């Protein structure tokens, strides 16, 4: 039974070839929070209302375009290889800036951090991104922390792909409280069991949080 009573609106940005789980993972947590803990209304938005084909072939239809969405209280920006092209799109950058100006928080997953950087939202802030993209984000002058997710002011950023799920759950706890996070996590049955394959902590490019997996 839904207990959603919150008038706040949470927008999830779509652009061509975004990484599916970057958006769908946080969307699942946020909509669980909406259904069971009275969380914000969740909506999708893209530059146009046409079909968006994701990185792995999933095809989705946004509910709103940049002109029809109105003001959002929260905005999540996914990543993927195509995020580097999206970060060059003046309309997308203008949309992110305009929303950030009135939003309570802006979040990114994976290489979505490069869109936030291009929009000027990471200046003077700590952030993170996918391990492959850490050198590139540092080269742009961002203070990158090799963590699963980083919260600095109104900006939340996460590492790659699945890390957005953990970030969103932490975001819910931060903004709505432990009870809301509990209800979200319990109904999603999201309890990672710690299973890992191989020794990712020994990879020469493993970020700090992955290297700590090998510490007893």
CA dihedral sign of residues 127, 133, 134, 138: negative
DSSP per position, 89-120: -HHHHHHHHHHHHH-SEEEEETTHHHHHHHTT
User: Residue 74 and residue 92: Cα distance in Å, rounded?
Assistant: 16
36: Cβ contacts below 8 Å, ≥ 6 apart? 2, 3, 183, 184, 187
Identify any residues that bridge with 106 across adjacent strands, giving them in sequence order. Answer: 75, 155
Tokens 């968006």, located at residue: 52
Q: Which residues are catalytic?
A: 110
- Classify residue 187 by burial, with Cβ atoms within 10 Å: 0-12, 13-18, 19+: middle
The 3-state DSSP class for residue 213 equals helix
Q: C-alpha angle 23/107/33, rounded to 5°?
A: 65
């Amino acid at each position: 039974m839904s207990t959603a009573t919150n008038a706040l609106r949470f927008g999830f940005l779509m652009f061509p070839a975004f990484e599916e789980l970057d958006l769908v993972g946080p969307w699942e947590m946020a909509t669980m929070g909406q259904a069971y803990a009275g969380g914000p209304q969740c909506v999708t938005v893209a530059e146009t209302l046409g079909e968006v084909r994701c990185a792995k072939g999933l095809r989705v239809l946004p509910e709103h375009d940049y002109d029809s969405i109105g003001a959002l209280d929260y905005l999540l920006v996914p990543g993927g290889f195509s995020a580097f092209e999206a970060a060059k799109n003046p309309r997308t950058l203008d949309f992110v800036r305009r929303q950030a100006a009135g939003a309570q928080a802006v979040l990114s997953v994976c290489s979505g951090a490069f869109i936030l950087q291009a929009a000027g939202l990471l200046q003077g802030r700590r952030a993170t991104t996918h391990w492959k993209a850490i050198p590139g984000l540092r080269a742009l002058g961002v203070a990158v922390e090799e963590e699963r997710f980083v919260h600095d002011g109104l900006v939340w950023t996460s590492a790659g792909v699945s890390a957005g799920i953990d970030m969103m759950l932490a975001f819910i706890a931060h903004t709505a409280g432990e009870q809301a996070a509990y209800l979200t996590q319990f109904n999603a049955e999201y309890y990672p069991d710690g299973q890992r394959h191989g020794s990712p902590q020994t990879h020469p490019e493993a970020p700090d949080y992955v290297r700590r997996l090998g510490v007893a």
